[in-house]
Structures are given as C-alpha cells and as structure tokens.
Amino acid sequence: MATEFHNLQDMQHTASLVTKVFIQRDYSEGTVCRFQTKFPAELDNRIERALLEQTVKTLNSYYVEAEKVGGQSYLEGCLACATAYIVFLCMETRYEKVLKKISGYIQEQNEKIYAPRGLLLTDPIERGMRVLEISVFEDRGSSGSSPSSSMSSCSTAR
C-alpha cells in the first residue's frame, strides 16, 4: 500500500486527477465477490478493452479461489472450532493470503500497464469490496520529470 501511495503522489506532481471510473460488483452468481467485465465507456480511448478485461477476469479468479468452499476451508473451520477460534490469533486465514496475492497483482498491473496510460487501479479491499476504482489522470503538461513512468502518452487531447 505504501508503494501505491508513493505512485499516486508521483503522479499528482505531474498530472491531475480527471475523474474516477468505478467497476461495480456483479451479483449474477450470488454474493461471491465478482466484478463486472463490462468495459466502461469513459476508458474507451485510454486503454485497450482486452487488457482491462484480462485484469478483471484475473481478479475474479483470485476471489473465487479465496472464497472457495472446499477441503482447505473445512479444515480451517474445523481446526478453528476445535481450538475455540484461538488459532486465528496466530494463523493467517487462506482468504488473507489470497488478498495479499491480489494486492501484489494489482501493484504489478499498475506499474506495467496502467500507470504508463495515466490510470491507477485501487485495490477493492480499500473500498470495502464494493467497486474496482480506476483513477484517470491527465498530464498537466508540466516539465517535472517523473522517474517511474513516462507521462507523455497521456497528453492526448480530450
């Protein structure tokens, strides 16, 4: 999370936040965590559809893995019950482990794909798993150099 904030600050020096686009949850399969793969119109000329779709699909698959009701979750549940739930004080649950993987994935996606296009993904866990927030930045045209990402591609006329 510290790195993400650092990127955002970097971006804020050379670019201004134009708008935020929200990808809402998809409840067609129940209460399991899933985001809509519908491409938001505001990002039409900012990023290729396939890339965003790929990111959302990968995130969805991570959440499916986290919430899978299977052998490991039963074991965890039974162990926790047997120890009167004290085991949770020492052990990290599977869900938390997957969440860490997800935040690593989002950071990597931001660095490789989204920051060069002037976009920034916010980890859904920071928004209470309600939305996948994409912040859209635009280069102010300042001469400040940003070592982490090249902003020249962002100065397209809107």
Q: Residues interacting with other proteins, by CB under 8 A?
A: 5, 12, 16-17, 20, 22, 25, 27-31, 66-69, 73-74, 76-78, 80-81, 84-86, 88, 93-96, 99, 125-131, 133
Q: 132 pairs with which residues across the strands?
A: 23
Nearer to other proteins, 70 or 147 (CB): 70
Amino acid identity of 115?
Answer: A
Helix-strand-coil split of the chain, %, nearest 5: 50, 15, 35
For other proteins, which is the closer residue by CB, 96 or 112? 96
Instruction: Kindly tell me which of 83 and 112 has the beta carbon lying closer to other proteins.
Output: 83
Shortest Cβ 119–other proteins spacing (Å): 15
Tell the smallest beta-carbon distance from residue 106 to other proteins (Å).
16
Query: Smallest Cα–Cα separation from 103: which of 57, 143, 63?
Result: 63
8 Å CB contact between 6 and 23: no
Q: What is the largest CA-CA distance in the chain?
A: 62
Q: Which is nearer to other proteins, 27 or 112 (CB)?
A: 27
Instruction: Tell me the HSE value of 45 on the side-chain side, using a 13 A CA sphere.
Output: 7
Least distance to other proteins, CB of residue 39, Å: 16
